C-alpha cells in the first residue's frame, strides 16, 4: 500500500478547552537538541511496531511541520535507550544526533549531509569484544566476528538510503546495542531501527541540513517513554 507523504509548510496545533492552542509537538519536548530542525518518531505505546515520523523546521521562534510519513519500529516495540540491551529487537527511546548519511544508492539530489556510499567492503561491527564496536568498518577487522556484524550491502532495500542515529555512539557501552539507523522500510518491523517508505527517506535527506543541527526524538505518545520527556 502506497504511503502518502505530507509535504509543504504547515504549523500543527491542537485545540484545548476554552480555545487555548497547544504548541506543536517539538514545543512540548523537554529538549530538541538546540538546532532548528527536528525529527520526531512517535509510537502509540511501548509495544507498538508502527507509528508516525514527522520532520520539523524552526523559524522565527516557531516549529513548523515540513513532512510526515508512517514509521516502523523494533519487532518488540520501544524501550528506554539508557537501559536497552543489545539483541532485544527494541527501538531505543531518547533524543539523538544524526551524524551522517549513507546508502547503497547515490544520495538524492540536494542532499546536504555527508553521504557515505556502501560497498561490498562495508560492515557495521556489533561485536562487543571488538575495538570497532558500533562503528562502520572497511574491511571487517580481525577482532570483529562476521556473525556479530552487518554486511551493509546485503540489505539492498533497507540501506538504499539511511541516516545514522547516534544511539550508544559517542562513547559506546558494550551490550547496549549497535547499528541503529533511520532507513528505508524492509518487509516488516525492524531489529531496533526506525524505518519509513523510500520516498519519505529520500525527502528527509533532501530536507535535512547539518548546519541546522537536526536531531531525532523517539518515544511514545504518553507514559514512561513519552517523547515529550526527551
Question: Using one digit for the tens of pLDDT, what is the confidence trace for 126-147?
Answer: 999 999 999 999 999 999 999 9
> Which pLDDT belongs to residue 19?
55
Whole-number pLDDT of residue 75? 98
Q: State the pLDDT at residue 12.
A: 44
Q: What's the pLDDT at 24?
A: 97
What is the helix (H) or strand (E) element at residue 198, kind and residue range? helix 198-207
> Alpha helix locations (H) across the chain?
198-207
Torsion of CA 72, 111, 109, 203, to 10 degrees: 30
* pLDDT at residue 21 in the model: 72
Give which of 23, 53, 28 is closest to 40, Cα–Cα: 53
Contact 95, 217 (CB under 8 A): yes
- The beta strand positions in 60-203, using DSSP E, are 62-72, 78-80, 91-97, 101-103, 115-117, 123-125, 135-137, 149-151, 162-164, 181-184, 194-196
For residue 203 the three cell numbers come to 525527502
- Cell numbers at residue 215, please? 536531531
Which residues 6+ apart lie within 8 Å of 72 measured at CB? 49, 50, 185, 188, 189, 190, 194, 195, 196
Residues of the chain with pLDDT below 50 are 1-16
Give the three-class secondary structure for 188: coil
pLDDT the model gives residue 17: 55
- Taking residue 59's Cβ as centre, other Cβ atoms within 10 Å add up to 10
Whole-prediction pTM value? 0.91
Amino acid at each position: 500500500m502506497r504511503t502518502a507523504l505530507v509535504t509543504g509548510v504547515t504549523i500543527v496545533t491542537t485545540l484545548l478547552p476554552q480555545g487555548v492552542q497547544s504548541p506543536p509537538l517539538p514545543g512540548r519536548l523537554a529538549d530538541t537538541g538546540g538546532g532548528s530542525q527536528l525529527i520526531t518518531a512517535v509510537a502509540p505505546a511501548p509495544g507498538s511496531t508502527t507509528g508516525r515520523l514527522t520532520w520539523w523546521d524552526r523559524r522565527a521562534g516557531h516549529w513548523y511541520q515540513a513532512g510526515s510519513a508512517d514509521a516502523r519500529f523494533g519487532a518488540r516495540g520501544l524501550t528506554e535507550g539508557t537501559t536497552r540491551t543489545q539483541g532485544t529487537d527494541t527501538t531505543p527511546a531518547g533524543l539523538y544526533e544524526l551524524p551522517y548519511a549513507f546508502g547503497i544508492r547515490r544520495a538524492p539530489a540536494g542532499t546536504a549531509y555527508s553521504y557515505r556510499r556502501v560497498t561490498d567492503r562495508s560492515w557495521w561491527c556489533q561485536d562487543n569484544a571488538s575495538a570497532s564496536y558500533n562503528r562502520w568498518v572497511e574491511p571487517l577487522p580481525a577482532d570483529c566476528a562476521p556473525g556479530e556484524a552487518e554486511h551493509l550491502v546485503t540489505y539492498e532495500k533497507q540501506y538504499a538510503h539511511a541516516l545514522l542515529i547516534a544511539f550508544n555512539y559517542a562513547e559506546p557501552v558494550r551490550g547496549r546495542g549497535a547499528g541503529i539507523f533511520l532507513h528505508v522500510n524492509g518487509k516488516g518491523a525492524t531489529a531496533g531501527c526506525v524505518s519509513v517508505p523510500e520516498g519519505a527517506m529520500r525527502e528527509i535527506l533532501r530536507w535535512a541540513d547539518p548546519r541546522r543541527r537536526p536531531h531525532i526524538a523517539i518515544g511514545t505518545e504518553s507514559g514512561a517513554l513519552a517523547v515529550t520527556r526527551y
